[in-house]
Every structure is written in C-alpha cells, then in structure tokens.
Amino acid sequence: ETGVTQSPTHLIKTRGQQVTLRCSSQSGHNTVSWYQQALGQGPQFIFQYYREEENGRGNFPPRFSGLQFPNYSSELNVNALELDDSALYLCASSSGLAGGSSGNEQFFGPGTRLTVL
Amino acid sequence: DQQVKQNSPSLSVQEGRISILNCDYTNSMFDYFLWYKKYPAEGPTFLISISSIKDKNEDGRFTVFLNKSAKHLSLHIVPSQPGDSAVYFCAAWGHNNNDMRFGAGTRLTVKP
C-alpha cells in the first residue's frame, strides 16, 4: 500500500509568481485535504476535496485554489504569491470525509516546502 | 484565531519518566480531539484520539485525558523513550466541521 506522496519536495518562487503543488492520495482514499504550516505554527486547513468536489474551505483567499482528479490525486494552486505564503504545505488523504468521530483517519504526506522570495 | 493552544513550545524529560503534553481549546463545539506526532521531513502521524463523550483513552504507553469543563486535554507518555522525541500536535474537530484545528505544537525531547 502506497502512502501519501507530494511533489515537489521543496521549491523557491518569487513574489507574484504562481505555483502548483501535487499530492497523490493513499490507495483507496477519495478525500484529500490541504494544510499550510507556517514556521513555528500548527497546520492550518486550506480546503478539502471529496470525490472531485470542494467540500469545505478554511480562511484562505481565492488565489488559493485546488483540483481533485478522477484518480483522487490533487493539486493546490497559489496565484500571485506573497512572501507570507512561504510555508510547508501538507496534503492529507482519507477514505471518506474526514471529520469528527467519522473514524476516517487522515494520513499526511511529507509536505512541500515553499519559499517565496 | 487560535482555537487550539499548546502553550509549551518545548518539553524535555528523562528516559523512563512520564511526559505530559498539554492542550487548551476555546471552542465548545469541538467534540473530537486528536494527537499527532511529527518527525522532521515527515508528515504528522496520528497517535491517539478521544471523543468528547469520554474523559480518558489509553493506547499502550499513550493516554489522553479530556477535561471538558476546563476545555483542556493532555497526553501522557509513560514510560518515555528516546524514540518519542518529536513535535506533538493537538488537534480538534467540531461537529459538522471538515476543518481540523491544530495547536502550534510542543517539541518533546527524551534524553537517554
């Protein structure tokens, strides 16, 4: 069973550019959530995708967008990058909607370290 | 808004002793709580959870205690081992939420 993988491992962009981060969910999982973890902070929920539809969004501006594909892999796109977007971006997958006592545990990938200069 | 708080950024304990990590929350709608463990260059891994209808859940060396009236939970690790050295995150789900809230984490160092 393959775990959650993310690519690239790290990348450097300049302010104003656009970036696409990728996530392959664990085998059998149809739900993907994205989190932003700034230095010294805990992960912050960006949004969740369930069966290719966005199912919930955190307090992030519209320039953060996502996609989920039929094979349940996912992309996180960030437009007009700002210096504060520098962070570790984590993807987590689950078999079904993850939430509360649903029992659908989230499995996290290793993250993509984004640096915006 | 910091709805889940871990006020101790770091904790150091001796191997074999008890590690106690604390977490406070402000949102009374949270009804499910989790602890995650994170090693460098890896994603967080699930450790243990507790529903708000319980006040204690135990799994081997790990026990989570929940005090709803105080909006406080703690993770006890007994006995602590050097391999437990990692960053521990407290997280919470609200009913009908798909938005898991994390604390800032506590770095635990277990010294041999």
Q: Is residue A96 over pLDDT 90?
A: no
CB-based contact A101 B89, cutoff 8 Å? no
Residue-level pLDDT at B93? 85
Pairing of strands B86-94, B30-38: antiparallel
A16 Cβ neighbours under 8 A, 6+ residues apart: A80, A81
Bridge partners of residue B57, in order along the sequence: B64
Q: What pLDDT, on a 0 to 100 scale, did the predictor assign at position A87?
A: 97
C-alpha to C-alpha distance for A42 and A58, rounded to whole angstroms? 14
- Matching residue, tokens 């302010």: A15
Q: Rounded distance, CA A114 to CA B7, Å?
A: 27
* Nearest chain A alpha carbon to B48: A105
Cis-peptide into B79, omega within 30 deg: yes
| pLDDT band per the 50, 70, 90 thresholds, residue A102 | low
User: B44 in contact with A at a CB cutoff of 8 Å?
Assistant: yes
Q: Quick check: B43 and A4 CB within 8 A?
A: yes
Per-residue confidence (pLDDT) for residue A56, from 0 to 100: 86
Contacts of B9 in chain A (CB under 8 A): 40
Rounded to whole angstroms, how far apart are CA atoms A35 and A15? 20
Q: Provide block-wise average pLDDT over 10 residues at a time, chain B (112 residues).
A: 90 98 94 93 93 95 97 98 97 78 96 95
Contact residues on chain B for A42, CB-CB shorter than 8 A: 4, 6, 89, 91, 102-105
Chains A & B: contacts with CB separation below 8 Å: 67
**What are B45's strand-pairing partners?**
B37
Give the Cβ contact number of residue B17 at 10 Å. 13
Question: What is chain A's mean pLDDT, rounded?
Answer: 91
